[in-house]
Structure 1
Amino acid sequence: MDNEVTNFKTLPDELVHAIFEYLDYGELARVAVTCSWGYERATPLLWKDLELKDKWTLHPKEERAQIAAHRCKDNRCDEHDDTPIIKKLLVLASKPAIASLVQTVLHRCHLPPPSIYHDLPKFSFKSMVLSPDSRTRNLLILAIWNMQNVHTLRIVYGHYNLTHTLIWGFLHPDRPRQIPLRRLWLESCSLALPSPKRMGDSYWPDLTGIESLRIRRLTFLNDKTRALLYRGIAPSRGKACSTLQDGVGGEYRTYTSPVLKNGDVSLETMEDAWFYDSIAYRELPQAHKVLKDGETLLNGTGMLTGQEPAPPVTFLRYLLWDTTPTLTSLNLDMLLTFSCYQERDESDVHDLLNTLSTLRFPHLRAFQMRNANTPWSSLPKGTYLLDAREFAADFRTLSSSFLDFMEAHPKLQCLAWPMDRFFSQHSQSPQIVERRERIMANLGRTLVELRIDISCSEDAMEEGMAPFQSAFGSIARRRRFISWFAPQMKKLEVVKIEGAIPRAERREMIRALYACPLKKIVMIGTSFPLGNNWMNDDRLSNPLGGFGGMNDFEVWGLHHEDEKALALTANNPPPPLSPGFKFEPDFDWPAPCSMANEMASFHAQTITELKFCGFTGAPILYTPTPLAETLLKPLRHFHALERLTVAMWLDTNFEGRYRDEEVVSYWLDARSPYSTALAIVPSSDATADDDDAGDARREDDEGVATNPDDQHNTNDADADPNVHHAFPPTPPYPNHTLASVTVDPLTGPEPVIAIPAAAASSSPSKPSLATWPNRLAALYHPRSIAAQVVRQLGPSLSNEAKSRPGGVLVRASFCLGAQIGCGAVWDVDVRVGRARRRRATKGMRGADDGAETAANGEEGSGGYGNEEKNTAQAKQDEEGVDVLLDFEGPREEAEPARWWGKMRERRWF
């Protein structure tokens, strides 16, 4: 062993670094404390990514346990304890060598960010009672002056005082630096940041070197108007409580303060904040010495004099103005402008958009304005990307045009813009038409990624309304985009289509991109993009009365599907694209039309990733319907497919009520090493007498282990892919059936799942599903879910794609908590592979089958009967069987590994 360690130490540092990158934080920390050699090589990785995050604390710690159930139920509960942040800052402020190792900085609150649709519109992030202590801000400045190699700063739901200080410090012109700050990400925070001003020979903010700017899920408008309209709240540290969504399908309670009518956040809890901060610093006496040693530096930076905040729109303008020489990627994502219809704010919206349209970024490669997915983040009426702006007497806001902007940026590779804001529905002058034709021709040569969306809440179609406010106007603008813009694209590799775009227009969008070598197609909406996997209107019911019928069914994005016509389409190969194909839009939807089949006809040869999100009408786990099989079957033609994301419905209804919270708790407890939950022991009637039939540890027909007690991931990638059991395909649990679809006026359609009576009775080979503990362990265990995903989706995938090393990565997305309005998405990642069967040997399953066939008067041949059966089995053996290679999850969006993965892998940042 000692020789092995010695040999490992002789490896080049670059190779050791590459190996250590696979270790998680805890493992790296253990390496760092083993010896000086491990410390020197693990420390740079430990401090490469700095996360400044607070925690929840129940004071005083000596008298009671830290139980989350006590949150907001005790007068010594600090919702935002900065102790973990202060401890890290003390190290960075006093040890410049360690601080110089930091490359990325992330500051975020430990609480889940406000949900987009429910909490975000009423949130004010300008809470002065979070991190108010000047000692914390001064320590942060000392740490920033030592962090000279930071290239990325992210603030996601940050405390206002720390956000203010981070921006002020990292954009300070006198900050020592080896490399400039290149990437800035501001999300769910306040833009009421320091006012620009002169500092010596330079100006603050110093944005020299910024290449990527990502501003999302916040407002650039005056907080006063937004709070006044929506009776806003801000995170706090005492007094009143509010119930918010927790990001895992449920709710939690936390302290909040109201936003006053003058736009200020209530400071009535400031005394509590000072009390809690004094406790934190009393336990960290070394902070006094560090601050004393850095007092000269702090006086020199001007930090001790304080900084007055500028209005959010003013600061955003400075960010845009001062980054023009270096910016390569600009992303403005869901900027809340819902109060722009108020007279006092329309000038802010108008000025910002017009300012942006006049700026010139010589190096810009990505321009994303993703502002149309929600009604409170839409662009002002009459604002267009490729047409002149228009005016009308009934416009509540002024409009802007980005035609000049697009002409001045001919090197764009990524573009995101609302689909119905490319063109006006009115005719334009010949000069405008000629200019936009040149722009589109150029984009056809440069654009590789396109993202379009429209609001999920469109304007109503009413006669007599102004054209810009009617659905007819929106339809005309969308169809002009499909007819004029999309066919011009020649180099697109990624297309993302989001929002309430009708399915016929989605299909025509895919057809219009016939000349593009698409590698990735993403479709996201409220309903499943490939079609209605549920039932047609003959099984539609409405328990509340007065809301049934096909017209109401279509309101939720579900359509009548012609099963016979679709079956013929799915069974035939997609027609190839003719050599002389010329796109002609057709917005009708014929009965035999299949979205997946249309995609396969045009892009099957190049597609490596598909993503279909929309839970209404999505495939139902454990309940495969004929419609689902038909609609998904064309996916077998995508032979180059590597990744597939599919929204699925997971039914949790048991004994008349939904068990979403219990299922989520079961998942969280199963993956947590600190869980104290009791193990679920199946009842005695679930125990099998037959060792072969009842052994829960045997593998089923697909090589999928079905032991519900095994909580580790399956990984058969290293096993012989040609050796698998040849048991006849019998699912481990009885199938459910889709009985009907109910329509609720508030939540929309929902499938009603029926469980066969056999599923609730004891069986020598199957656990009883009559009790909730057995049902929970049998159907909702991560391994059971992963195995069922293979059974339902595996047959729809290309055998060629599944046979490649690693198979196809399938992500099944489930929405839990939607019944109480707090839906959160949970994902299970499953690798689906393909392997040939192994014939069962005599004495195992074959012996039993041979006895059974002999009893029926048939000849036993290896346990499979007559020659015809052998021939069919041989063919099946040759074709192979779907296998579960590996799985991970279920994971929510905020799960640490997944969350960090999205942060690091975000395109165009």
Structure 2
Amino acid sequence: MSTFQLLHRLPEELLQEILDRLDSDAFRNLNVSSRRCYEWAAPRLWREVTLVDCRTAHNWGTSDEHDDGPLIRKLLVLATKPWLASHVQTLNHRCHLPPPAIFSELPRSTFSSQTLSTDPRTIRLAQLAVQNMTKVTTLRIIFGHPTLNDALLRCFFDKHRRKATPVRRLWLENCRISAGCCLEITDHPYGLPLELDFAGLESVRFRRLPLRPCSLPRDDAAVVYARSYRTRDMQDGRGGLYSTTINEPMVKEQAVGCEQTIWLAEASGQRDVVTGEAHNAESPLERIYECANRWDDYIYDQLAAFTSAEEQRVLDERHVPSHRQRSMLAYRGSLLDPLDMDLLRAWRLNQSERSPSSQVALNVLGNASQTLTSLTLDWIFTRPSTPGLTGVTPNDRLWVDLYLQFLSLRFPHLRAFQLRNAVVPEAALPPGLCLLDHSRITYALEEHDVMREVDLEPEQRRKLDLAGLEFMEAHAQLQCLAWPMDAFFSNRQSPAHTARRVDAVIANLARTLVDLRVDTLYTGVCDPQTEDVHCLTPGSRTRRRRFIQEFASKLTKLESIKIEGDIPRDERREVIRGLHACPLKKIVIIGIMCPLGNTWGADCSDMAVKPNPDEWGEVIEGEDKGAIWQYGPGPLNPPGANFKFQPEYGWPAGPPMIHTIASYHANTVTELKFCGYKGAPVLLTPTPVTTPMLSALKHFHNLESLILSLWLTTTFEGEARDEEVIAYWLNARSPDSTALVLVTDEEPEGWEKELLTNYAPKALAWRITSFIGPFLSERAKAREGGVHVRASFSVGDWGGMFDADLRVGKGAMGSDVCLGFEGPREELESGRRRSKLEGRRWF
């Protein structure tokens, strides 16, 4: 009797337990084994679906950078096979291209790409597929295509959708939401639902979104991804560049709606194009969609050979043969985040975005307020003007009003609230907005420490005054909180009646809070050791130190702390000391400098191979090596039973950072993460001070995971070889690659030998094990599975981050051994990408 016949006889509970242990490859094999096996495997294979496009080179010499063929085929299956679609629980949509680089590309991205996924047949397939996907509880759109984003959002959250489980988790990243999430509209060119309902959402993550309360000024530097012939180099997330098609500058795509170029009129009740040219001539609008429409026709013509009559009927029912009419349907308008309603009405025919994205986001959150338990606002762009504001404009008042409206919302069941803005100025809060104090919105350059109060309307000023405190008082069940470290308190002590309310909120958080994340904006080239003497922004320093003494030191239940941004090292240390009463399990510190200290010496003086000065800035402060050798390997200095926290600022000769952390929290910590490349331990040629600086890691006997930035020198014969190292790593993990170093009978020499002995993944894993292993606790390494170690490297001209994951344990002879490894992998590598999505807490 065959194994499959035996499987049929097993009790359902036992069969399901067996199936739960299979990986995706096993399910694919099972799926094609028999009809019965298909019924077991297919639902699991389709439990999570990702809609993603691809790059296709055509034989006529052009390349379609956004070929929707793969996602169209998936949508067709979901639209025509309700049984399969009914098993989908998680739906993801993303572009195959790397998302915009955080510092250089993201702030200038509008995510308004008008030519991606615009074919009416594609949008109709999405509508039908969503109708059949009745059990989806998680929707993620990460750098998706705008028109398809709109279709997925409006169909999943259709107010009149019936017989479907409500979506509970919504993740929107690197995309626009003003058209897709607008609660009510009067018409839609593709016939999408007009009324939306977000009730039932439990978790929302808005990440790297433009939520500005006004239109951006037109900017030739802005980039719009497009299906066209014009190309531009962009960062590939792997330390290099790639070329993709764009419409540049942005005004060329948006200017189609301007009166000087093209205007819209209603002719006999139909949308039409009127230009200064002959009526039947190709308009500027049609020229924008020339590539997109032609390539979509090609995709669907190719697909016709593999579709059934019923599937072809579905495809044909919304086909629009006219190039002009299809362009009219696809055009999203020229106004982003419109505020001038009179102007908007003038362009109402083809203006998809009827409300500012900031207002749309507020309406979504308000609509979901009764069910929301987790809300994350992660690097959202709300600032309407460029850095260096020296006065106040109406848009700045709208910026303030955006936060006032948000803080006026109430979420009765909220457990996690996170607002993070450490990366770029465009994500900053209005200066003077406080979570636990009186808010006095100010302007002018913080560097001069001359802040003038914004002249708000009296009623707005009154409501804003304690809006943050009132928000916190209304959400007394928070277990997770993230907020800028310098925006908890103002520069001045609160009046007595306010202080009593603040104390009550903090006392409650001391009982409930288990996860705290604080950050400040990255502004310099190196994190200073202290600002105790020299400080350009005394006001910001005062606010941060008030947070340490008046908030952090009062917590007692915290299990996880994350500190990120341009925070002086002494203040990070005092946060850790201030949390002495907390059973911390996870500590994360991220900065420009290595949070554990500078192993390179003052201005890199101790390094065998110095990095390019452009990579490390002008000044890197040195450590007191005598103190590090004295205290680093020495015994810990834990707080006594009668310890009372008093902050001690400055950076005198004393124990290194890891020694302080171990003294206060070694008994409870299971996870440590320290990211910051400048001054980080050098893997191949560590400096002498590295050993005493890391010695205290041996005291973390319960450690399960250590993530640490390391510096990897790629210089050979006086020349940096980053590109070659990255190419070697990428080729090493590709089963189809033949570009690896050729190993012959002769011993490799020169650079080939260097690659094999220092940079090959296996060699790198051995070097990491040999370097990190001796610092780790023997008890921790002796546990089954050892200690997970992730070594993070910054490699490449464009700041690619590669991670090597391994497990360090004990061998049969008691030596440190690598129990297994993966990588090096960049953040966008498929396995790495998935682990980050699934590992996000509070989503």
Q: Is the TM value for this pair above 0.5? A: yes
Q: Aligned runs of 1:736-885 on 2, under 5 Å?
A: 768=749, 771-817=750-796, 820=797, 822-835=798-811, 837=813, 880-885=814-819
Alignment match, 2:31: 32
Asked if the contact 1:596/1:635 (under 8 Å) is kept, the reply is yes
332, 339, 363: which is aligned to 2:377?
332
Give the aligned partner of residue 438 of structure 2: 388
Over 3 Å counting, the alpha-carbon distance change for 1:510 and 1:192 in structure 2 is same
Displacement of 1:671 after TM fit? 1.1
Whichever residue aligns with residue 496 of structure 2, its letter is: P
Q: How does 1:571-610 map to 2 (within 5 A)?
A: 571-610=633-672
For 1:620 and 1:100, the matched residues in 2 are separated by 52
Matched, 1:249 2:249: no
Aligned mate of 1:623, from 668, 685, 689? 685
Matches within 5 A, 1:492-507: 492-507=558-573
Residue of 681, 685, 688 corresponding to 2:743: 681
Shift, 1:269, TM fit: 3.3
Counterpart CA distance in 1 for 2:479 and 2:255 is: 42
What are the superposed Cα offsets for residues 543-565 of structure 1, whole Å, 9 maximum, x if unpaired? 99x999xxx98966x43212222
| 8 Å Cα contact 1:418/1:453 also seen in 2 | yes
Partner-residue secondary structure (3-state), 2:632: helix
Give the whole-Å Cα distance in 2 for the aligned partners of 1:392 and 1:8: 70
Q: How do 1:194-593 and structure 2 match up within 5 A? A: 194=180, 195-197=182-184, 204-221=195-212, 224-225=215-216, 228-229=218-219, 231-261=221-251, 264=254, 268-285=287-304, 286=307, 289-290=310-311, 292=313, 308-310=352-354, 311-340=356-385, 343-392=393-442, 394-395=452-453, 400=464, 401-457=467-523, 471-537=537-603, 539=605, 558-593=620-655
Matched, 1:170 2:214: no
Report the 3-state secondary structure (helix = DSSP H, G, I; strand = E; otherwise coil) of the residue aligned with 1:324. coil
Q: Match for residue 50 of structure 1?
A: 49
1:256 Cα deviation from its structure 2 partner: 0.7
Q: Distance in 1 between matches of 2:775 and 2:67?
A: 50
Larger radius of gyration: 1
For residues 38-93 of structure 1, give each alpha carbon's deviation from its aligned partner in whole angstroms, at most 9, with x where no partner exists: 21111011100010000001124xx7xxxxxxxxxx4x210000011111111111
One-letter amino acid of the counterpart of residue 434, structure 2: Y
Distance 1:284 1:543, change over 3 A: closer
Compute the displacement of 1:293 (Å): 5.3
Hey, what's the Cα distance between the residues in 2 that align with 1:514 and 1:239? 59
Partners of 1:52 and 1:351 lie apart in 2 by: 37
Structure 2 counterpart of 1:152: 138
Alpha-carbon distance in 1 for matches of 2:682, 2:156: 49
Give the Å deviation of 1:658: 1.7
Aligned counterpart, 1:706: none
Matched residues in 2 for 1:14 and 1:149: separation? 22
Q: Which moved more, 1:329-338 or 1:640-649?
A: 329-338
How many percent identity over aligned positions? Answer: 42
Deviates more, 1:444-453 or 1:234-243: 234-243
Q: Distance in 2 between matches of 1:215 and 1:532?
A: 35
Corresponding residue number in structure 1 for 2:268: none
Native 8 Å contact 1:149 1:177 kept in 2: no
Kept in 2, the 8 Å contact 1:445–1:491? The answer is yes
The alignment's TM-score, normalised by the length of structure 1, stands at 0.78
What residue in structure 1 maps to residue 110 of structure 2?
A: 124
Which residue is 2:282 aligned to? none
Alpha-carbon deviations, 1:581-633, whole Å to 9, x = none? 00000002221221111111110000000000000011111212221111110
Query: Could you say what secondary structure the match of 1:385 adopts?
Result: coil
8 Å contact kept, 1:373–1:453: no
Structure-2 separation of matches of 1:135 and 1:797: 58
Shift >6 Å, 4+ stretches: 294-298, 303-307, 396-399, 458-461, 540-544, 552-555
- Is the contact made by 1:495 and 1:522 (CA closer than 8 Å) also made in structure 2? yes
Deviations 1:655-681 (A, max 9, x none): 232211211111111111122325422
Cα deviation, residue 375, structure 1 = 2.0
Q: What are the ranges of 5 or more consecutive residues in structure 2 without an aligned counterpart?
A: 188-192, 257-284, 320-328, 331-348, 444-451, 528-534
What amino acid is the match of 2:555? M
Give the match's secondary structure for 2:475: coil
The structural deviation recorded for 1:533 is 1.2
For 2:617 and 2:577, how far apart are their aligned partners in 1? 24
Take 2:241 and 2:432, find their aligned partners in 1: how far apart are those partners? 39
Contact 2:418–2:483 under 8 Å retained in 1: yes
**Alpha-carbon distance in structure 2 between the residues aligned to 1:233 and 1:414:** 36
RMSD over aligned CA atoms reads: 3.1
SS of 1:225's partner is: coil
Q: Secondary structure at the match of 2:423?
A: coil
Letter in 1 for 2:109: F
**Partner SS state of residue 218, structure 1:** coil
1:99 corresponds to: 85
- Give 1:37 shift: 2.5
Q: Is contact 1:420-1:477 (8 Å) kept?
A: yes
For residues 770-794 of structure 1, what are the alpha-carbon distances to aligned partners after superposition, in whole Å with 9 as ceiling and x for unaligned? x111211121111111111111111
Q: Which runs of 5+ in 1 are unaligned?
A: 64-73, 462-468, 687-766, 838-879
Question: Deviation of residue 274 (structure 1)?
Answer: 0.3
Change (3 A) 1:810 1:493: same
SS in 1 for 2:596: coil
- Mapped to 1, the partners of 2:96 and 2:441 lie a distance apart of 46
Counterpart secondary structure, 2:708: strand
Whether contact under 8 Å (2:422, 2:564) holds in the other structure is: no
Amino acid at match of 2:474: A
Structure 2 CA distance for partners of 1:536 and 1:683, relative to 1, 3 Å = farther
Distance 1:326 1:519 in 2: 29
C-alpha contact (below 8 Å) 1:141/1:165 kept by paired residues: yes
Cα distance in 2 for residues equivalent to 1:287 and 1:136: 17
Kindly provide the CA deviation profile for residues 113-134 of structure 1, in whole angstroms up to 9, marking residues without a partner as x: 1111111111121111001111
Aligned partner letter, 1:346: D
Secondary structure at the residue paired with 1:646? strand
Partner of 1:465: none
User: Which of 870, 893, 901 is residue 827 of structure 2 equivalent to?
Assistant: 893
SS at structure 1 position matched to 2:49: strand
What's the counterpart of residue 728 of structure 2?
A: 666
Are residues 306 and 639 of structure 1, via their aligned partners in 2, closer, same or farther at CA, if it must alter by over 3 Å?
same
**Distance in 2 of aligned mates of 1:586 and 1:287:** 74
CA distance in 2, matches of 1:265, 1:447: 50
State the AA in 2 paired with 1:647: S
1:655 to 714, 717, 720: 717
Corresponding residue of 2:69: 83
Cα separation, partners in 2 of 1:428 and 1:554, compared to 1, 3 Å: farther
How much does 1:391 deviate? 4.4
Label 1:456 to 1:85 Cα distance change in 2 as closer, same or farther (>3 A).
same
Give, in angstroms, the shift of residue 484 of structure 1: 0.6
